[in-house]
Every structure is written in structure tokens, then in C-alpha cells.
Structure 1
Amino acid sequence: MAVAPTAYIPTAEPVSHHVRARQLLKAHPEVKRLMTRNATTALITAGCVALQVAMVYLLRGQAWYWSLAASYILGAFVCHTLFVIVHEATHNLVFKGQWANAAVGIAANLPMVIPTAMSFRKFHLKHHSALGHFEHDADLPDHYEAKLIQHYAIGKMVWLFFFPIFQLVRTFRCRSVVPFDKYIAVNWLAQIVFNVGIYLWLGPSAFLYLFFSFWFSVSLHPVGARWIQEHYLMLSPDQETTSYYGRLNGVHLNIGYHNEHHDLPGVPWNHLPKLREMAPEFYEPLLHHTSYTKVLLRFLFDQELSLYSRLVRGEHAGSKVPVAKVAA
């Protein structure tokens, strides 16, 4: 009989990234040279935005199903790269100034339809500082999500398809994060202007391409498996972060190097492989993924995995919930 967790996996251990970062910097002080900024990311942003606008132009006046197909085949990958750029800007890894990085994030957000870049910044930085703390880490599923979805494939499919909605609802529990500021106001204003302009210029079918691209990039799609790959306990019961070393890192700016990123968030995407090469004794022993598709399929159909397959710290680490038994 296989068992699926029906409570978070408690841990009293300190965050592994904080420990490993101290050890790594002591053993390899030369890695500090990798903590730079990469202005080339802004050029990649312009290219991705231009590609999405070009696709919108080509799809003008077409039936909605062409927008749907194009968004799944191409748009989701482009939009996922734009999410990675928002992530880089969140950590101020493009330019020196915070407003300059915010501008890159807001620009990358434009083809995504929903103004999320500056809100993501707030919750993502809290995710780094409070990894695994239910009250602060919006990356952890809510209890109602896990109880509703349980460990069945159909439930996980529904959950992943509607992941953007679940992710939005989670943010309301994180009261330590101020929900609105001037950056978010500018993000919303820029997004409204862009959305209205695209809709009036090219019509609803083209606009749907942008929306579907956004939705699939964080939903039931191979690239959507990244949200599972990063912190779900799929390969080890005590490795709280898992990297992905697959071909799509070349498309998505090395976002798969997630252990490396959490260890040293000041290293931009182009230097993350170098970080792993310079400190192999820290990263080669760690388990990792090589395929988003395999991650997706295993998560969906492995009944030993549930939304509770996460390490958690603090008050919620002591939750006492019975373990469900399912057929192997």
C-alpha cells in the first residue's frame, strides 16, 4: 500500500539554503564574482514582447481555436520566459536601480494581460526569507486546496489548470506582505493601457492569444510543471528544493537552477551554471530533474504525491492529520 501525505511534512531543520550558502562562500569565496547584473536581460525582454505582439498581429481576425493552439504550442514558452525575466527583475539582477528593474519587470508583464509583476516581487522575496512558513510563504498550498484535490490524477489536473486562481487566493493569507504600493499602481496602469490598445487595434481573437499564453505558462502545460519541480518532495523526503537541468533551461534563462538560485539569489541567470561548476561538491550530490514532462506526469499519476508533499516550518509543522492509504 502506498501512502499520500494528508498533512505537511514537518521539519525543525534550518533552511538548507542558508546553511549551504554560508558553507559555499567559505569554501569558494571566488563565487562572489558571479554576483553581478545582466543588462542583456532587458534586450531579451524586448525580443519576447515583440514576438508576442507579432503573433497577436498574425492572429488578428482568426477563429479563437487558432489562438488557443498557438498559445499552447508557442505562446506558453515565450510567456514563461517573460515570467523568468520578471523573476530576475524582482531580485534587481538586470540594472542597479530598483525603478529600472521594476520597469523591466513591468515591460515583461505586458503580454501577460494580468498585472502580476510587482505583486510577484513582494510575495517572492518573502518566499525566500520565509521558505516553508505557512503564514508567509505563498508558494505553499492552502489547506483547502490540498484537502479538495487530495492525491487523485483528475483532482491534480483540475488544480494545475486553475493554478493561477489558487495562487492568487493564497496571497490573502500572507498578511505580513503589504498588498499595494506605488510599483503595483504603475504596473496596473501600464497593463490597462497595453490591454486596451491591443484589444482596440487587433481585436478579441488576437487578445485571447495573449491570455491563453499567460494561462498555459502557469497551468496544465509542461512548463507549468516548474511550480511542482521547485519545492515538492518528489525525489527525496528531505530535499526541500530540487533543480531542473534540462534543455528548456536554454529557452527559459536557467530558471531550473533553483537550488543555486535560492543559495545565492544575487547571481543572475547567466552565471548560475558557473556557480554549479565552481562548487560541484555542493550540487552534484543533490537529486535533480531533467524533464518537465516527466515531472508533470509523475505528479499527476503518482498517488504517493499530494499537495501536502512539502516541507513546512513553524506552527503548521505540527499539524496532526491522519494519513490516507491508497492502492499502490
Structure 2
Amino acid sequence: MATKNSFVFSNVSEPHRIRTKEILKSHPNIRKLIGKNPMTIFVILGLVIFQIVMAWLVADKSWWIVAGAAYLIGAFADHALFVMIHECAHRLLFKKPESNRLAGILANIPQIFPSSVSFERYHIKHHSFQGVHELDGDLPNKWEAKLINNYFIGKVIWLLFYPFFQIFRIARLKEIKPFDGWVALNWIVQIVFVAAVYFLLGPKALAFLLMSFFFSIGLHPLGARWIQEHYLTHGEQETYSYYGVLNTVAFNVGYHNEHHDFPSIPWNKLPQIRSGAPTFYNSLFYHTSWTKLFFRFLFDKEISLYSRIVRNNRGKVTLTDESKPDIEIVNINQTVPN
């Protein structure tokens, strides 16, 4: 487990490539799950329409109703839209990359902030270079981990303003083009939508969408998803799945070990990976409650932003950091169940 002032450094590669090979060797039928799910576009359309209708319904209500609707309803819809953007980033809807990118921009619309195109680029790097601090945007900045550490108030602030902390990570990430025509299109669509909502539905409708966005990834039980995926909550296991009831409204995003092992399998088939290769997944620790994890993260001083594994092994190229002032070197033996 990480100490209060250091990440955990691993001198072995991330575990997913090894497990994927072992699973395919033992269960070759898993390959049949790989493919596209074009029906996901209708899920995106339904969620976008749902959020716009909700914004219209609360446009003339009290601020308490606006905030309550955002926390209890809008947050779940926006979180589901994040899952849809994630599917688009992995090109799991259509064959053409451009079609998936446009679908991601569509899913991004109710979320106010233009992020789908940029997310695609940073997220794919996360899969390719998990734990490499210079390339994996899912890892906190060193100053971010030092600032928040394991303090209750710090964790509350971190969850509440999680999107802003993610923005600050962009400067450290290498090999990623931050702006081009696709990013510009993403911004234009969002600006037009925000203006339309404000002038046609009013400030409360816009506030509903804004609060839904922040609650969906922040100070909300749904925000525990970011802790569930890669924070060291059970020994030195690097990636965790969530097998709870909220997968039904989160489109199986909790199946995170399965997703990292097989990122080319769409959301609707992720449970079949676990059921098709149970010995590989049932032997791993997993979470059953985002709500329980949410409160554990806030109050458990053993979990901090340093509770992450980092490495400098990126395949043929090794990234070095001579000083490593914020990294504890620990020999972690990743094992694959047989």
C-alpha cells in the first residue's frame, strides 16, 4: 500500500496483457464477443433527449428542486453518457472512426463542457501505458496527490471539483495533440447548445445540466467509480471491478478488469467475459457497492491520492525520472490466476 507521501512504483508491466493472453488460451470462445454494437447510438439519443426534457421540466421550479433533480436523476443520466462517450472512444459503435467520434460529440452535448474528443485521446493512452505518469491521464499529478493526500476535506474538494483537477493533468502528458479540427467542432457544438438552452429554457435549465455534470463524476456515490477502478483499496491489486446493482444504469462500466483485458468488447457483453472465464475474475478482489466505497474513500486515511501504482516501463521505450521524489519503489509481483 502507498505511504502518505509517495505513489507505489512497480517494476513489472501492467497485468492486463498477460491475463488477456492466458484467458484466450484457456477460453478461445471469448474472441467471439469482440465487435461493435451500433444499437448503442439509440441509447445515446435516448439519454440526450432525457436530459434536455429534464432541463425543460425544472426550468421554472425552485432551486431546491433543480439541485435535487440534478443529484437524484440527472447525475445518473450524465454518468451513463460518460459511459457512452467511453464506448465511442474505443470505437465500439461503428466501423469508421469518424462515426464513433461524432456519436461521442452527440453524447457530450448535455454535459456542457466539451470533452469527448479529448477524452478519446487521453483514455486510449491510459490503456496503452497504464501507470506511466507521463502518459496516463488517469493518474493524479504529484502536486495534486500531495495537496489532497488522505485528508477528509481535501477528498471532498477533490471530488467536488474533479473535472478541474483532470484539466490540470493535461500539461504533463506527452505525445498527445491537444487541439485540432475535431476538438474545435466539439467546442462549437457545445457553445451552440449552451447558448440555446440559456436563451430558450433559461438559467435554471442550464444550472440543472451543469450540476448534473459535476454530481455525475464528483461528490456523489457515482464518483466512487473513479476510486474503484485503479486505487489500491485491497493490497497491491492494480485494477478492480464493481459488480453491483448500479451497473444496470451505468451500462456495465463497473466491469473494469474485464474492460482492460478486452477493450474491444462492447458494454453489453462485458458480463459474458466474467461468466466465460470465471476462474480469472472471481479470484480477484472486487467491489459490490459504490456508496460504501464512496464513504470509505472519504473517511479512510489509509486511502489517499497516492494509493496508485506507477511504472516507467512503456514497452520498448523507458521513461526515466532520476529523482522520483514522490514515488516509493516497491517490488510488486503481479500474478495471473490459473
TM-score, normalization by structure 1? 0.94
Within a 5 Å distance, the mapping from 1:169-318 to structure 2 comes to 169-237=168-236, 239-314=237-312, 315=320
Cα distance in 1 between the residues matched to 2:12 and 2:87? 28
Cα distance in 1 between the residues matched to 2:99 and 2:327? 49
User: What residue is the counterpart of 2:336 in the other structure?
Assistant: none
The amino acid of 2:210's aligned partner reads F
The CA RMSD measured in Å over matched residues stands at: 1.6
Provide Cα deviations, 1:169-207, integer angstroms capped at 9, x if missing partner.
Answer: 111110221101222121111111111111111010111
Matched, 1:112 2:107: no
User: What residue is the counterpart of 2:332 in the other structure?
Assistant: none
Cα distance in 2 between the residues matched to 1:185 and 1:317? 38
The amino acid of 1:184's aligned partner reads V
Cα distance in 2 between the residues matched to 1:320 and 1:47? 48
TM-score, normalization by structure 2? 0.92
Cα distance in 1 between the residues matched to 2:251 and 2:321? 34
User: Does structure 2 conserve the Cα–Cα contact (< 8 Å) formed by 1:138 and 1:171?
Assistant: yes
User: Does structure 2 conserve the Cα–Cα contact (< 8 Å) formed by 1:4 and 1:305?
Assistant: no
Cα distance in 2 between the residues matched to 1:241 and 1:55? 35
Matched, 1:150 2:155: no
User: Does structure 2 conserve the Cα–Cα contact (< 8 Å) formed by 1:249 and 1:255?
Assistant: yes
Provide Cα deviations, 1:265-309, integer angstroms capped at 9, x if missing partner.
Answer: 000001100011111111110000000011111111111111000
The amino acid of 1:244's aligned partner reads Y
Other structure's SS at 1:230 match:
helix
Q: Structure 1 residues 222, 311: closer, same or farther in 2, change over 3 A? A: same
User: Does structure 2 conserve the Cα–Cα contact (< 8 Å) formed by 1:11 and 1:317?
Assistant: no
Cα distance in 2 between the residues matched to 1:210 and 1:165? 17
Other structure's SS at 1:12 match:
coil
Matched, 1:319 2:315: no
User: Does structure 2 conserve the Cα–Cα contact (< 8 Å) formed by 1:76 and 1:216?
Assistant: yes
User: Does structure 2 conserve the Cα–Cα contact (< 8 Å) formed by 1:3 and 1:303?
Assistant: no
Cα distance in 1 between the residues matched to 2:228 and 2:95? 30
Cα distance in 2 between the residues matched to 1:110 and 1:3? 38
Provide Cα deviations, 1:93-115, integer angstroms capped at 9, x if missing partner.
Answer: 01111111111111110000001
User: Does structure 2 conserve the Cα–Cα contact (< 8 Å) formed by 1:134 and 1:316?
Assistant: no
User: Does structure 2 conserve the Cα–Cα contact (< 8 Å) formed by 1:244 and 1:289?
Assistant: yes
* More displaced 10-residue stretch of structure 1: 36-45 or 64-73: 64-73
- 1:59 deviates by 1.2
User: What residue is the counterpart of 1:132 in the other structure?
Assistant: 131
User: Does structure 2 conserve the Cα–Cα contact (< 8 Å) formed by 1:62 and 1:206?
Assistant: no
Q: How many residues align?
A: 321
Cα distance in 2 between the residues matched to 1:200 and 1:233? 46
In percent, how many aligned pairs have the same letter?
46
Other structure's SS at 1:9 match:
strand
* More displaced 10-residue stretch of structure 1: 74-83 or 27-36: 27-36
User: Does structure 1 conserve the Cα–Cα contact (< 8 Å) formed by 2:145 and 2:305?
Assistant: yes
User: What residue is the counterpart of 2:11 in the other structure?
Assistant: 12
